[in-house]
A and B are shown apart, each in its own frame.
Chain A
């Protein structure tokens, strides 16, 4: 095994001792990317030169006395996170040539800590999906079985960590997008409490649930990354002034006295038999480790997906309105001044809705011209967005439109309140909640792509924590039919320490996280 398969903790120990350099570590990751990414297709951009420069700098800084667990550690960021002077596409054609003019706050923090950015990872376009099949740049393949999806939407990040292309990765989670692929790829994925880590510089999807978080090889590594990226940011008004604990230094060794709630609704119909057995075995193990298992009920979580698919598309329809072909991204607008003058001189044709205008122009044998501002909007967006982004924009537009707002959006917001209250009530009685992360193992590529509803139901176990803003982690809990199975722990708001403790104790007592896919 090469240096690229090291964890943050192992690599930083070797760096500190001077046994390896960041340049060596970075080269090992870049080599691994070259060797396996042709098959896995986890990355959209590789910043080879920049990464080697950053690694060299990290080595120099270490010589000058700089310290830190992430100094010289190579990582990969999901491509909906802005990285200065690096192409940032959100896996959409509408941002095909977009170069981020500034760094996201979490990227700034990692830069300051000396971490080395290797490249940008594939995702479902604008993080809409649970398989990466909605990427405009092709599907990422699951490293455990290349005919299967890696989950999503942070599928590229999870697949890159699972196949040791990097030491850790960043993802974003809106309704399961870190936990779902972490489960499918057999790695550790954390969705922090809403507001724990800044959203500034994330390409916004659902502003009321978006949160960035780490995807790592171990729970300890997750603790290290979260400590670095968390905290208040004046550029994100939803980050509270709350101290970030030293998670790693506060790990407990035992689960004695820990009360863990098991919601019976999550183990009923719809859960794959093999996944169920695997997670039940994990629960037995956690019991053996000293935790008290308590049966709980979350009756309204069954409405989670329905609530999520009103609130999310509604916020998407608003957030994605910024992609209009005017300031950045794909534009149908013509740039030559002469065309502009001509278009203004002509009396613009009355606007026909949608493709109709285009279809009729084609029927008449006319050239598809972009004359009005409306044409720029309609065409730029019609050409730039992929199918799932279009579906969600339309669903949200519908839910927010006159006559439907109360029945859909307002009702969803109210059911959201009930779901939150139910979680809070249960979490006042137990330390955390344990569920399967997903209802099945990774599915085959192409299996669900034409059935958006089936794809939405992938999020059944993960949307609840997102709607309620609670922290949740997915950790490897075993295998079913040779594919990884994840278990999810949900904690109280800002109670990351509790779920990390349970996750770490379980991880230390098992060896699932040490298993590697053969590539």
Chain B
């Protein structure tokens, strides 16, 4: 499986990664190698096999629906990590044009 430069750019864009031309070239080759190895999975007979997403066997694990107070220090510590804060809220650039 050889990924074209266009495909690599498309993937990086979907992944929201700004890459240099050098990076695109390097990762393109490396990812093609890895996909070449992974292609062996196409040869496994999986007709009638259910996919596995998790192994616990647990389903519908619920917690009681109640609001728990969050430690004030932890709140301020968590907010401190953001690059831009206004009125105790994380500020982002405009989303709608």
Contact with A along B10-30 (1 / 0, CB 8 A): 111111111111011011001
> Does residue B92 face the partner (Cβ distance < 8 Å to A)?
yes
A residues 352-384 touching B (CB-CB < 8 Å): 353-359, 371-379, 381-383
**Which residues on the A side are within 8 Å of B88 (C-beta)?**
none
Q: Is the CB of A333 within 8 A of B84?
A: yes
> Does residue B87 face the partner (Cβ distance < 8 Å to A)?
no
Closest chain B residue to A102, Cβ basis: B74
Q: Among the interface residues B19, B21, B37, which one has the most CB atoms of the partner chain A within 10 A? A: B19
In the complex, what distance in Å separates the CA atom of A415 from the CA atom of B94? 44
**Which residues on the B side are within 8 Å of A452 (C-beta)?**
30, 33-34
Contact with B along A230-257 (1 / 0, CB 8 A): 0000100110100000000000000000
Count B-side interface residues using an 8 Å CB cutoff. 59
Contact with B along A178-214 (1 / 0, CB 8 A): 0000000000000000110000000000001000000
Contact with B along A423-454 (1 / 0, CB 8 A): 00000000000000000000000000000110
Within the complex, the shortest CB–CB distance from A11 to chain B, in Å, comes to 32
Within the complex, the shortest CB–CB distance from B66 to chain A, in Å, comes to 12
Contact with A along B32-43 (1 / 0, CB 8 A): 011101101110
> Does residue A303 face the partner (Cβ distance < 8 Å to B)?
yes
> Does residue A146 face the partner (Cβ distance < 8 Å to B)?
no
Q: Is the CB of B17 within 8 A of A415?
A: no
> Does residue B67 face the partner (Cβ distance < 8 Å to A)?
no
**Which residues on the A side are within 8 Å of B20 (C-beta)?**
355, 358-359
Q: Is the CB of A418 within 8 A of B44?
A: yes
Closest chain A residue to B80, Cβ basis: A99
Residues of chain A touching chain B, judged by Cβ–Cβ distance below 8 Å, are 84-85, 98-99, 101-102, 194-195, 208, 234, 237-238, 240, 300, 303, 305-307, 309-310, 317, 321, 324-329, 331, 333, 335, 340, 343-344, 348, 353-359, 371-379, 381-383, 385, 387, 390-391, 393-395, 397-398, 401, 407-408, 410-418, 420, 452-453, 456, 468-469, 493
Seed contacts A101-B77, A355-B19, A379-B18; 8 additional CB < 8 Å A-B pairs: A353-B10, A355-B24, A357-B18, A358-B18, A358-B20, A359-B21, A412-B41, A418-B46
